[in-house]
Structure 1
């Protein structure tokens, strides 16, 4: 049995897309909404099984990873999030890069010698590595229209991954992956009027218009905080809205809070683009928080801890 385990955002989907375009194999797909990252524990691997894990923190999946390795399965693990101590095991091949300017799809791109490089650029845009993606576009001699197309497609694939549950999404990430697997190039997706691109494009604009109408609940020299209501539209747009805010004001940190309806918030935190550090450190101080240096989140921040969170973010970036 082959297992493909991947984050349901643009980076996870496109990382696997490149691998399976290069090496098609039958596999069981394990994924979920973007914040569903404890994925390795969802399988019961056996000896002779092969497990591919993409774009989920090894530190968050170490229990499941140890269990899989102890069963005798082989594991190919690629990621750019917190890893913790990487196990030394003959059945584990790990490619972990914590650089704030890379993502899992770019690591895969290097391993495949750029075989599906346009897809890797699309993932970089989706993961909000705008400067890096722009650099790669220039090296690939793409024109302005092509650059814009890849950026929009990456953003839309990423947008689809956000939600508290699968029902919030327009496409189950596994189904979106399978649909995109039909297209060797991202430009093929956009050229097909029946592809997922057009449904996502329309829905994204509707959700973004609602978010852009909201004024900040907190604004300082180092941080802007926006609170979204408890709705599927809010949950879908929260991450890409945070990315949009970060690009709109690269000197400030941004937090997008989405009401969960139980006196907690889902938090998306973006470090300033001009100082891409600290987000994971800050969010990791709260019970359900984690992420990476440039972008992190908290799944359930109690209302009573909101002021503490804001103070921690303000203090960190005022001193940085």
Structure 2
């Protein structure tokens, strides 16, 4: 049995989309909301013969990966997040690059020698890798209008992946991926009236309009911190809103907070999205990894449950890291 394990954001979905458009394969799909990255443990070691892993941190899935390798399961691992120690095994093939300007879909695009480059461009835009997306778009000879369309598509697919649970999302990431398989050319999807592109666009615009009223917690020349309401729409836009803020002020880091639902037995906590300054895309993953439930990559990272009492410390850490 083959398993495809992938992040539920634009990069994870589109990385798998490219691979399966190029080489269709019957597989068990394992995915979830964007922040659900401990996915590899869901693979049944006793049934798996091969596993493809896309856009989830090897560092966070090392134990489950080792269990698969110990059982001689063939694993193809493609990612751009923190790795930790990479196991040495003849059963493991890796395509990993943690450079801040590389995403998983761009790695897959290189692997496939550009067979579905337009999809890779959409994914790079969705991961807010503007320069990388535009460079590939120019290489493809795309017009400004076409670049704008792929930018929107990537953002909307990425937006769909954010939420505390699947119930917060408009489409389950696995079903969204399966629907996109019908469109080898993303422009066919964009030009189809009433398609997923248009459905997600309307939902995105509605939610982002609400985000403009976000409460500003702190605002300095290095870091801006905002808090969104404790609502499903806020959890959906937490990441893309952070990207939007980063694009507006590329010399500053941005922190977006949403309050987590919790029972009375635990301290209240925030879901945190951290965006490094676009002009200094480093450190976000390292900062977040210092806190329990935190991690990510150099340019964009987060903490799934930052205790409210730790917020001031977190902001200070970000301020300290990005001081001149």
Answer whether TM exceeds 0.5 for this pair: yes
Task: Go from structure 1 to structure 2 and tell me whether the alpha carbon gap of 1:265 and 1:47 turns closer, same or farther (over 3 Å shift).
Answer: closer
4+ runs deviating over 3 angstroms: none
Q: What residue is the counterpart of 1:310 in the other structure?
A: 315
- Alignment partner for residue 286 of structure 1, among 288, 291, 301? 291
Query: Which residue in 2 is equivalent to 1:244?
Result: 244
Alignment check: 8 A CA contact 1:17 1:177 kept: yes
Comparing 54-63 with 256-265, which one deviates more in the overlay?
A: 256-265
> How far does residue 223 in structure 1 lie from its aligned partner after superposition?
0.2
Q: Give 1:45 deviation, angstroms.
A: 2.5
Measure, in 1, the Cα distance between the counterparts of 2:176 and 2:213.
29
Q: Deviations over 1:193-213 (max 9, x none)?
A: 242111110110010001112
Alpha-carbon deviation of 1:188? Answer: 1.0
Could you say what the CA RMSD is over the residues aligned between the two structures, in angstroms? 1.0
> TM (normalized to structure 1)?
0.98
Q: Residues 47, 206 of structure 1: CA spacing in aligned structure 2 closer, same or farther, 3 A cutoff?
A: closer
User: What CA deviation, in whole Å up to 9, does each residue of 1:93-122 have, x standing for no partner?
Assistant: 011100100000000000000000100001
Q: Which residue of 1 aligns with 2:28?
A: 28
- 1: CA distance, partners of 2:47 / 2:70: 9
- Give the match for residue 265 of structure 2: none
In structure 1, the partner of 2:303 is 298
Structure 2 counterparts to residues 98-117 of structure 1, below 5 A: 98-117=98-117
| Contact 1:46–1:72 (Cα < 8 Å) also in 2 | no
* Structure 1 range deviating more: 212-221 or 90-99: 212-221
Q: Corresponding residue for 2:134?
A: 134
> How do 1:112-127 and structure 2 match up within 5 A?
112-127=112-127
Match of 1:53 in 2: 53
* Whole-angstrom CA distance in 2 between matches of 1:294 and 1:88: 28
The answer on whether the counterparts of 1:47 and 1:71 sit within 8 Å (CA) in structure 2 is no
What secondary structure, in the 3-state scheme, does the structure 2 residue paired with 1:318 have?
Answer: coil
Q: Matched residue of 2:86: which SS?
A: coil
Secondary structure in 1 matching 2:29 = strand
Stretch of structure 1 that moved more, 202-211 or 129-138: 129-138
Offset of 1:145 from its aligned partner? 1.0
Q: Which runs of 5+ in 2 are unaligned?
A: 263-267
Question: Which residue of structure 2 aligns with residue 177 of structure 1?
Answer: 177
Query: Is the Cα contact below 8 Å between 2:215 and 2:228 reproduced in 1?
Result: no
Tell whether the 8 Å contact from 1:21 to 1:181 is kept in structure 2 after alignment.
Answer: yes
- Verify the 8 A CA contact 1:47 1:73 in the aligned structure 2: no
- Per-residue deviation, 1:261: 3.2
**Secondary structure, counterpart of 2:164 in structure 1:** coil
Instruction: Trace 1:62-73 onto structure 2 (pairs within 5 A).
Output: 62-73=62-73
Contact map agreement 2:214 2:229 (CA 8 A) in 1:
no
Structure 1: tracts of 5 or more residues without a match: none
Q: Is the 8 A contact 1:13 1:173 kept in 2?
A: yes
Match for residue 74 of structure 1? Answer: 74
Secondary structure of the 1:178 match is helix
> What SS does structure 1 have at the residue aligned with 2:255?
strand
Structure 1 stretch displaced more, 172-181 or 187-196: 187-196
